[in-house]
Amino acid sequence: MGSPHWKRLCLLLLAGLTSSLLLYTHYYTTVESPTSQRIIASLLQPEPLVLAPSGTPHRRWALGGSSESGNSFKPSAELEEPEPSRQQPRTCLHSVMARAKADPKFGEIFRFDTPVLMWDQHFTLATWNRLRTRHVPYGWQGLSLAVVGSTLRLLNASANRHLFDRAALPGGCVRCAVVGNGGILNGSRQGQAIDAHDLVFRINGAVIKGFEEDVGTKVSFYGFTVNTMKNSLIAYEEYGFTRIPQAKDLKYIFIPSDVRDYVMLRSAIQGSPVPEGSDKGDEPQKYFGPEASAEKFKLLHPDFLQYLTARFLRSEILNTQYSSLYMPSTGALMLLTALHTCDQVSAYGFITANYEQFSDHYYEVEKKPLVFYANHDMMLEAALWRSLHRAGIITLYQR
Ligand SMILES: *[C@@H]1O[C@H](CO)[C@@H](O)[C@H](O)[C@H]1NC(C)=O
Ligand SMILES: *[C@@H]1O[C@H](CO)[C@@H](O)[C@H](O)[C@H]1NC(C)=O
């Protein structure tokens, strides 16, 4: 971070002060809430659209200039170092990357050089101008430059640039388990197998107490949007989800689906109460524990979310009146994050072809049918997991 960086930052902040009058805050309300509007499967195609191969035109998908459509985003040399999100593993046979590249269909879909995380050096005028044309979670449309800028500025630790430090993990292959909360895990006795992975990702209402045998106890990453995190604390409290997982080595992955994610992340790093917006007054320590530091938090890059949606989960919902609400589920985003960072990935508790046999979540005592929300496309996600499993790119737990 030389002085050019600071000069540019000052200019940007100055611009922010003047332009913030013109900007408004766009509250993107997702409907991933147990009590809110839900649209049952009729909205969704029974046999959903398959994956979009590269080069497919962006039909009605109005996310604006994506890097893949050749839109002129040139990172300014000294600020946005091209830092691949992962290095080629040296001694890992059968890695996700190797298998994906060898697969005729997925070889065309995966782009392993897409940045996964966002950090301070992404805060440039070029990025601002590009991302302000796309709505959240794919961009910054309607967000205040001051909020985005002051949040990204804090993500300046080397830990903010990669999900994990490869050198700190033993062996040639980084093996990851991503644990969804599906009812298939009830009675599965997969706890030991899950914990045997190098890294374990969990999401939303990840109840552990009482389910150790089935889901294990290890948590390396907890992924969420502030909306899904807070909804989980309310909806699953009765099942014992009374606090967000906390541990010394646990890292939090923020999915920036709303301005409140940026605001909460900033306060979490600063260790101070949320000063504005819908979470005003919240104490981040209540969720994330006493350690407030940039190292503890990761932020998914809006370009990564755009890439995942456009290439892996381009739903037919995008052609309906609900298109602006649509985004892949938290579980899908975490599983795809693992696929772009780990060498081997197992998925537990994700939707399978026989999902009707299982309860919505593993901790329910009485069977509840899986709930389909208008903002997700679980059938499309199910088809994706199935075909990734068939291609040998993930191991999907099924029974
Ligand atoms: C990151 O930013 C904070 C606050 O501006 C500063 O105190 C800290 O020294 C910076 N850390 C690095 C590694 O640059
Ligand atoms: C989950 O397993 C427990 C223990 O076997 C059982 O009591 C409970 O009914 C199961 N829940 C569902 C929804 O099947």
Query: Could you tell which of 1, 123, 156 is best to mutate to test the pocket of ligand 1, judged by most ligand atoms within 8 Å of the CB?
Result: 156
Query: Could you tell which of 365, 366, 371 is best to mutate to test the pocket of ligand 2, judged by most ligand atoms within 8 Å of the CB?
Result: 365
- 42 pLDDT higher than 90: no
- 398 pLDDT higher than 50: yes
**What pLDDT score does 74 carry?**
30
Percent of the chain with pLDDT over 90: 73
Q: Which ligand 1 atom is the nearest neighbour of the CA of 1? A: 14
Q: What is the rounded distance in angstroms from the CA atom of residue 263 to the CA atom of residue 279?
A: 9
Amino acid at 299: L
The residue nearest atom 1 of ligand 1, judged by CA position, is 156
Per-residue pLDDT of 279-333, as tens digits, reads 999 999 999 999 989 999 999 999 999 999 999 999 999 999 888 899 999 999 9
- Residues 80-96 have a mean pLDDT of 62
Q: Which ligand 2 atom is the nearest neighbour of the CA of 366? A: 13
**Residues lining ligand 1, Cβ inside 6 A:** 156-157
The conformation of residue 396, written as its DSSP 8-state character, comes to E
- 368 pLDDT higher than 60: yes
- Residues 121-126 have a mean pLDDT of 96
Answer with the residue of higher pLDDT: 61 or 224: 224
Nearest residue to 160 (alpha-carbon basis) of 24, 30, 268 = 268
Per-residue pLDDT of 240-251, as tens digits, reads 999 999 999 999
The helix (H) or strand (E) run that includes residue 309 is helix 302-311
Under 8 Å between Cβ of 273 and 294: no
- 129 pLDDT higher than 80: yes
The residue nearest atom 13 of ligand 2, judged by CA position, is 367
- 271 pLDDT higher than 80: yes
Structure confidence at residue 28 as a pLDDT band (50, 70, 90): very low
Answer with the residue of higher pLDDT: 134 or 8: 134
**What pLDDT score does 290 carry?**
94
DSSP string for residues in 332-388 = HHHHHHHHTT-SEEEEES---TTGGGS-SBTT-SS--PPPPPTT--HHHHHHHHHHH
Token readout for 348 is 């537990």
Domains belonging to the chain, first-starting first, are 96-396 (3.90.1480.20)
**What pLDDT score does 119 carry?**
98
The residue nearest atom 11 of ligand 2, judged by CA position, is 365
Under 8 Å between Cβ of 313 and 332: yes
Distances (CA, A) of 127 to 7, 16, 75, 246: 16, 14, 8, 33
**What pLDDT score does 345 carry?**
98
Structure confidence at residue 88 as a pLDDT band (50, 70, 90): low
**What pLDDT score does 171 carry?**
81
**What pLDDT score does 205 carry?**
96
Lowest mean pLDDT segment, chosen from 31-40, 74-83, 269-278, 312-321: 31-40
- 69 pLDDT higher than 50: no
**What pLDDT score does 89 carry?**
52
Ligand 1 centroid distance, CA of 153 (Å):
8
CA angle 72, 76, 79 (to 5 degrees): 145
Structure confidence at residue 87 as a pLDDT band (50, 70, 90): low
Lowest mean pLDDT segment, chosen from 79-88, 299-308, 369-378, 388-397: 79-88
The residue nearest atom 5 of ligand 2, judged by CA position, is 187
Structure confidence at residue 199 as a pLDDT band (50, 70, 90): very high
Mean pLDDT of the chain: 82
Token readout for 151 is 């949040």
Q: What is the rounded distance in angstroms from the CA atom of residue 40 to the CA atom of residue 37?
A: 10
